[in-house]
Amino acid sequence: MKEVDETLSTLQRLMRKRDLIIEFLQLIAGFAKKAAPRFELGIKDLQSSALPLGHAALGNSLTYTTHTISLRTSKLLVLSNGHGEDLIALRIIESLHNICPDLEIDVFPLVGEGKCFLDSSSASWLNLVGPRLTLPSGGFSNQSLKGLFSDLKAGLFTLVFQQWKYLRKLRSQNTLILAVGDLLPLFFAWASGAQYIFIGTPKSDYSWKSGPGRSVSDFYHSLKGSEWDPWEVLLMQSQRCWFVAVRDHLTARGLKKKKVLAIAPGNPMMDDFESFSIPLSLLQKRRLLLLCGSRMPEAKRNFIRLLSSICLCTSQKPFSILVPLGAEPLFLDLQEALLENRFKKISFHDELIGAQEIWSRGDDFVFLGRGRFTRWASWAEVGIANAGTATEQLVGLGVPVLSLPGKGPQFKSSFAIRQSRLLGGSVVPCKTSESLAERLNFLLNEESVRQSLGKIGSNRMGPAGGSIALARLISQFVELN
């Protein structure tokens, strides 16, 4: 928390200086307007270069005049672009709501329907707004032409245009935008004309500064000096962008060299995990956590392949396979794969585990539970995962992971390799089911290797506390009526 306090102190000092500069410039501008209209342009140019937080004037494309400057806001609009980003945004605004319970918060999920926000919306402390549509690719149209064409057919262009029109209405409102994700929410935040804060979730310089460093993308990133692209950095440098929060100090240092006020106050992904004692019924078994993803039909295909791979593994002890699920896939979607691997549904119930369905094959058990990830994650010895955010959270808890890339649209080989490098090899992609079974057997027999990989994953993901730290920073800009 020391770094957060120092960051808060620095921001407050800069804000006080900014207030004085703005008042001074507005005073001069008032005299100049009466004396010489041409002088007003000079004052605006001076104002652009005098703004704090390391911002520089970016030319005519990013105007920033005296009447648009506002350090305080009474309304927050949250933009997010995916299931993982939705969860990160939710953690931050839950912490912010605890600090500023009267703050008006609107949430605009740009990808999908934002189902994780429904409970909070029902509680009436946030509002789901804006046009929304679930696309066939699940938001991964940039990873395949097939996914792109499917999304275009489903109305991608119409959706983006409607979203852009909605955000342009904010130009005349005193609204602060919190953009969570990558280029899409960052661009929309900038294009709205409002002031904004950016939480950059997917990119890290670890993805190219660690590992072999021989690919074309590694060379490209080394030329840029960051995994963030130049056009993304340009939007981060905007005078309307108050600060940028990234996932680690390495990435923050790279962006600071490009005159971006970047901070790494902790990882919101690692918040809200509680430590639960492992139930006695699981202690005598090898505990695996299976993550098949949250987008159908890919999640169903992942579950089939991952479960079949586990069944190829020979272990002296029986397995307890914990399968936490989100809104999708449904239990019924997984039934076929369980039956094909000779599992039978049983009526046994253990309240300490909290599974909604239990399947068995001899002494091996599969536990299915909706919303059980935060409870079960720390119980696992090894993760078997074809997922994004959840996989990162799992290794952040010190659990090594094996993955088995498929056809996608999300979890393809390129995605898995990048994820492995991002997390320092604590996630090991496997090419075949047989390879996964072999490596699983090795990890289960080598506790020291598991601990070593787990430590790497924990270091790469960083400490918890990011949600409350960011909420505290954002609250400094809030002015309630």
For every one of its 481 residues, what pLDDT tens digit does the chain have, with 9 covering 90 and above?
Answer: 555 556 556 555 545 544 544 444 443 344 333 333 332 323 233 233 333 333 333 333 333 333 334 456 678 999 998 888 898 999 999 999 999 888 889 999 988 778 888 877 777 788 898 777 666 655 555 555 565 666 666 557 777 887 888 887 776 567 899 999 989 899 999 988 889 999 998 888 887 776 545 666 666 667 777 788 899 999 999 999 999 999 888 899 999 999 999 999 988 989 888 788 899 889 989 999 999 988 888 999 999 999 999 999 988 899 999 999 987 888 888 998 999 999 999 987 778 888 999 999 999 999 999 989 999 999 999 999 999 889 999 999 999 999 999 887 788 888 898 899 889 899 999 999 999 999 999 999 999 999 999 999 998 888 888 999 999 999 887 765 4
Are the C-beta atoms of residues 103 and 121 closer than 8 Å to each other?
no
Q: Which position has the token pair 């970047």?
A: 262
Amino acid 32: pLDDT: 37
Q: Are strands 241-245 and 195-200 parallel, antiparallel or unpaired?
A: parallel
How many degrees, rounded to 5, is the angle at CA 242 between CA 241 and CA 248?
95
Q: How far apart (Å, rounded) are the C-alpha atoms in residues 128 and 383?
A: 34
- Asked if 383 contacts 288 with a C-beta cutoff of 8 angstroms, the reply is yes
As given in the structure block, the two tokens for residue 420 are 């492995």
pLDDT at 208: 72
Radius of gyration of the chain (CA): 24
Cα–Cα dist 118/240, whole Å: 30
Residue 342's identity, in one-letter code, is: R
Give the C-alpha separation, 309 to 307, whole Å.
5
Q: In what order do the strands lie in the sheet with 401-403?
A: 344-346, 357-361, 364-370, 319-325, 286-291, 382-385, 401-403, 427-429
Sheet containing 104-109: give its strands across: 127-128, 104-109, 75-80, 175-181, 195-200, 241-245, 262-263
Q: What is the pLDDT of residue 7?
A: 54
Give the Cα separation of 165 and 171 in Å (integer). Answer: 11
pLDDT confidence of residue 55: 37
pLDDT of residue 84: 82
Amino acid letter, 254? G
What letter does residue 137 receive in the DSSP assignment? T
- What phi and psi, each to the nearest 5 degrees, are found at residue 368? -105, 130
The residue among 414, 405, 398, 411 whose CA lies nearest residue 450 is: 398
The answer to whether the beta carbons of residues 395 and 401 sit under 8 Å apart is: yes
**Straight-line distance from the first to the last Cα atom of the chain, in angstroms, rounded to the nearest whole number:** 29
For residue 105, the model assigns a pLDDT of 92
Instruction: State how far the Cα of 278 lies from the Cα of 380, in Å rounded to an integer.
Output: 9
Strand, helix or coil at 27?
helix
Contact status, residue 322 vs residue 376, Cβ threshold 8 Å: yes
pLDDT at 135: 66
What residues have CB less than 8 Å from 178, skipping those under 6 apart?
76, 77, 78, 79, 89, 92, 93, 196, 197, 199, 474
| Cα–Cα distance for residue pair 175/196, rounded to 1 Å | 9
Structure tokens at 248: 């680690």
pLDDT of residue 323: 96
